[in-house]
Every structure is written in structure tokens, then in C-alpha cells.
Amino acid sequence: MSTPAISVVVIGRNEGQRLARCLESIRLMRGFDGESIQIIYVDSASKDGSPELASTYGAEVIIVHAERPTAALGRNAGWRVAKSEFVLFLDGDTVLHPDFVKAASEPMLQDASIVAVWGHRREIHPEVSIYNRILDLDWVYAPGIAEFCGGDVLMRRRALEQVDGYDNELIAGEEPEMCRRMRARGYRILHVDHPMTGHDLQMTRLSQYWKRATRAGHAFAEISRRFRNSDDPAWETDRKRNLLRGIFWAASLAIALIVSALRFTLLPLALWSALLIALSLRSAWKSRWKSHDVVTLLLYGVHSHLQQIPICIGQLRYALDQRRGNRRALIEYKESDGI
């Protein structure tokens, strides 16, 4: 068999019909025929028939049975059997834009120092819930040279080999950590102003939102701890800022509630709410380049502050786990979508 023009590594666990949509979108990729695409599906012990489904789409299926499954473990298993120099990573709950790979490969072909290119990931159904609507803007980044990429990205296999891929032990933040090692070798990460994937967050409950934010806190804490004393202390500033903001919002709310209850007045709570609204308006104004929808921007502004509480809790849990010698399992917020 000739070397494929591109290898596509899809990871998933109990993705159901989301996986079918993802694999179908790979078939519709423009500029490549079926023979030039190698599809690799790495499954983390699904119970919904995902491996069998992937096989019907012509994917090479790898099933990972791990005591502590991680996205990094799946991606590593995939790229290590990839035959092409260019490897496209996708999550099983995404839909690939047909022109992304063509747009992403052009700067890589022109500049050998660019080893990873990613574009815009957006929510497929932001109208389904307030959480989908808000977090859709979390995917929006300014184009240009970046410090890191997301899970969906086109990479050079050569760079993956040189840094030995993702860190299997990380349950979150594996992409920024690996990108840091790539940048240390003089390589560059590029974010292009082009649609990349549609994502199906399927977030409808506060508990899911909370889990996702605590996972982010875990990532901040673990990555920053690893590189705290290096010449490139990744995420250390973000970690400290989040701790202060999370503690402030949680403590100030508790104080406002207690004082309001003791004095039989809503004034302290009203002042707390006024401060939150004022700061949220400022955040919404700063983020206006992300959207033209005023209501969505206002909600995003509130989110940017209140999410600091669960993120802070995620950091504190990580510190407690380190003290006790515990290893936290994968923090999942999404339910399976059985076929």
C-alpha cells in the first residue's frame, strides 16, 4: 500500500452517533480521495458498539484497555501507527470542515518550523442550552502564532516522534504541555483563521458545567507545578490569578449571604451582585471581538468570573491529591450517546 497523504486519528469513548458523523465528515474532506486517507480510530473500552461502527467506515480500530484512560493515551496509540507525515487529530464528538486540512497544510508546506496548525472549533448546537451557548465562545482564539493548540489539530509526525508524543499520565492539559516541549525545540504552533471542526458539547446541566471547570483547574495546577521552576513556567500566572479570583468570588458571596441573613437585609447581596454585573460587563466588552450577539457576550462575561470558583476547587483538589498521594481518574462531564 502506498503512503497515505494524511493519517486521521480519531479518539472516542461511547460516542455513538456522534462518532458516525465524525467519520462521515472525514470522507467528505476535499482534496483527498479514499486511498490517500488513513483513518485510525482509538477506542477507550466503549460499550456502545463504537469500534464496530468505526470498522464499517474503513477505520483501523485500536482498543485501549487502561486502568486510567486518558485522551493522551488514545492519541499516542493512534499516531504511532500512522503512516503519513501529516497526522490530523480529531475527537469523536466533532465534525471536520471539508476544507480545513487543505488550509492547514499550506503554511506547513511553506514553513518547516510550523509543526501544528489548528483552526476554529465551534459548537454545532449553541441554541440547545445556556452552557453550549456560553462555552461556544471559549473555543474562539485570535489567529497567529500560538503557545498551544487544542485536541483537534494537524501535526507533523516527525515532531511528535521527537518529543515522544503526549504525556499519557495527564488527564487534562495534554496538548499545551506537549506544545511547550515542541516550542522548546524551536518549532511553532499556528492558529489559522479558518473553520476546523464543529463540536457537540451536549451540556445541559450545571453539574456538567461544574465538572468541566474543575477539570480545567486540575490542568492549570498540574501543568504549572511541573514547570514551575523552569525557564518557561507554563500556566503559573494563570494558576495564581485563578486561585485569587476563585477564592474572592466564593468568599465574598459567602460573606454577603451571611451578613444579609444576620441583618435581615438584601443590601450586601445586592452590592455583591452589582459588582459581578459591573465586572461581567467589562469582560463582555473585552470579548466583543468573539461575537456580535450582545446577550451571549453578557452571559459569557458572567461565566468568565463565576467559573473561577469550580476552577479553583479543581486546583485545590489536585493539591490535596498530591499531598495524599492519590491519582485522580479521568474527569468526564459528557454522557454517552448510545447507538
Work out the percent of the chain whose per-residue pLDDT is above 90.
Answer: 73
Task: Identify whether residues 199 and 228 lie together within a single domain.
Answer: no
Structural domain range at position 169: 6-204
Look at residue 330 and tell me if it is in a domain. no
Task: Identify whether residues 172 and 239 lie together within a single domain.
Answer: no
Query: What's the predicted TM-score (pTM) here?
Result: 0.89
Look at residue 337 and tell me if it is in a domain. no
Sign of CA dihedral 177, 183, 188, 193: positive
Task: Identify whether residues 126 and 14 lie together within a single domain.
Answer: yes
Look at residue 80 and tell me if it is in a domain. yes
Task: Identify whether residues 258 and 149 lie together within a single domain.
Answer: no
The domain total for the chain is 2
CA distances for 141 relative to 152, 187, 192, 279, angstroms = 14, 20, 9, 21
Helix axes 236-263, 206-226, angle to 10 degrees: 140
Task: Identify whether residues 291 and 142 lie together within a single domain.
Answer: no
CA distances for 179 relative to 5, 110, 128, angstroms = 23, 20, 33
Dihedral angle over CA of 38, 146, 294, 220, nearest 10: 90
Task: Identify whether residues 230 and 162 lie together within a single domain.
Answer: no
Sign of CA dihedral 41, 42, 46, 51: positive
pLDDT of residue 172: 85
Extract the C-alpha cell encoding 201: 458539547
Mean predicted lDDT score pLDDT of the chain:
91
pLDDT of residue 232: 75
pLDDT of residue 69: 78
Task: Identify whether residues 84 and 179 lie together within a single domain.
Answer: yes
Going by pLDDT thresholds of 50, 70 and 90, the confidence category of residue 329 is low
Please choose, from the candidates 41, 132, 64, 55, the residue with its C-alpha nearest in 3D space to the C-alpha of residue 334.
Answer: 132
Look at residue 280 and tell me if it is in a domain. yes
Helical ranges in the chain per DSSP H? 17-27, 50-56, 71-79, 100-110, 130-135, 157-163, 174-184, 206-226, 236-263, 267-286, 294-306, 308-324
Look at residue 50 and tell me if it is in a domain. yes
Look at residue 268 and tell me if it is in a domain. yes
Residue that terminates a domain, selected from 169, 204, 239: 204
Please choose, from the candidates 13, 9, 11, 10, the residue with its C-alpha nearest in 3D space to the C-alpha of residue 338.
Answer: 13
Task: Identify whether residues 187 and 301 lie together within a single domain.
Answer: no
Look at residue 338 and tell me if it is in a domain. no
Q: What are phi and psi of 291, to 5 degrees?
A: -160, 155
Task: Identify whether residues 145 and 272 lie together within a single domain.
Answer: no
Helix axes 174-184, 206-226, angle to 10 degrees: 30
- CATH number of the domain bearing residue 170: 3.90.550.10
Work out the percent of the chain whose per-residue pLDDT is above 70.
Answer: 95
Going by pLDDT thresholds of 50, 70 and 90, the confidence category of residue 237 is confident
Task: Identify whether residues 229 and 198 lie together within a single domain.
Answer: no
- Residue 337 reports pLDDT greater than 60: no
- Residue 1 reports pLDDT greater than 60: no
Look at residue 210 and tell me if it is in a domain. no
CA distance 19 to 81: 20
Question: What residue has cell string 465586572?
Answer: 279
Task: Identify whether residues 231 and 153 lie together within a single domain.
Answer: no
Which pLDDT tens digit goes with each residue over 130-173? 999 999 999 999 999 999 999 999 999 999 999 999 999 888 88
